[in-house]
Chain A
Amino acid sequence: DTEVTQTPKHLVMGMTNKKSLKCEQHMGHRAMYWYKQKAKKPPELMFVYSYEKLSINESVPSRFSPECPNSSLLNLHLHALQPEDSALYLCASSLKTAGTEAFFGQGTRLTVV
């Protein structure tokens, strides 16, 4: 199994809503990542978890809150988002950070209205 599974595939939410994005992998990877991708742009790193601990927060606004309940799961909790937060949110995992192949999920297309 070399899959990273993200749910939901699409999400529309209002600016006062609270929602969560979910990511799951069963490859035994110990590093997991959240990226944000706007149209025609490269993925931008948001967060990195290493062995279930947050190792990198790329100055992401607090309305985005990551969580890593266990080594297979990664969540991104969303609250009070802005329309400019609309993007494709990508989850990835790798055996370990730095210098190992990272596998990506298909992403969640988020629209904030």
Chain B
Amino acid sequence: GESVGLHLPTLSVQEGDNSIINCAYSNSASDYFIWYKQESGKGPQFIIDIRSNMDKRQGQRVTVLLNKTVKHLSLQIAATQPGDSAVYFCAESHLGTDKLIFGTGTRLQVFP
């Protein structure tokens, strides 16, 4: 069946360092991926997305990398700040389905 999962449940980084959050997916038909940030008591907040015809996409302080060969994507956060502390989810969908499926999530903890 479909599954989207993460390698690390918790990531601790020092303020100012770069963070890398990973996600593996199993559905080779997936062609659209989103990273969400969820703070405690709030709904998921869109960070950045990428389509399968791209390998890399950059936003403000964030970069998403997609490796379709090994079905892996990552979220890189530059100069991590305390406000980045949250749970990060990857989600995937593909044309032909109305589903947006979430991975298991990684908690990012930023310490001074």
Residues on A close to B: CB < 8 A?
4, 6, 31, 33, 40-45, 48, 50, 55-56, 90, 92, 94, 97-107, 109
Contact = CB atoms under 8 A, between A and B. Distances in A.
B11 interface: no
Contacts of B103: 42
Contact of A99 (B32, B45, B105): B32
A4 B45 CA distance: 11
B32 A90 contact: no
Contacts of A45: 99-101
Interface string B92-112: 011111111111110000000
Interface range, B side: 20 to 34
Main secondary structure of the interface of B (DSSP, over half): loop
Contacts, number: 68
A90 to B, nearest CB: 5
Closest 10 CB pairs of A and B: A42-B102, A104-B43, A97-B98, A99-B32, A48-B98, A104-B44, A55-B98, A106-B43, A107-B43, A98-B93
A43 B31 contact: no
B32 A105 contact: no
Main secondary structure of the interface of A (DSSP, over half): strand
B22 to A, nearest CB: 15
Interface of B: 31-32, 34, 36, 41-46, 49, 51, 89, 91, 93-105
A102 B34 CA distance: 9
A11 to B, nearest CB: 15
Given A99-B93, A101-B34, A102-B34, A50 B43 contact: no
Contacts of A4: 43
A103 to B, nearest CB: 6
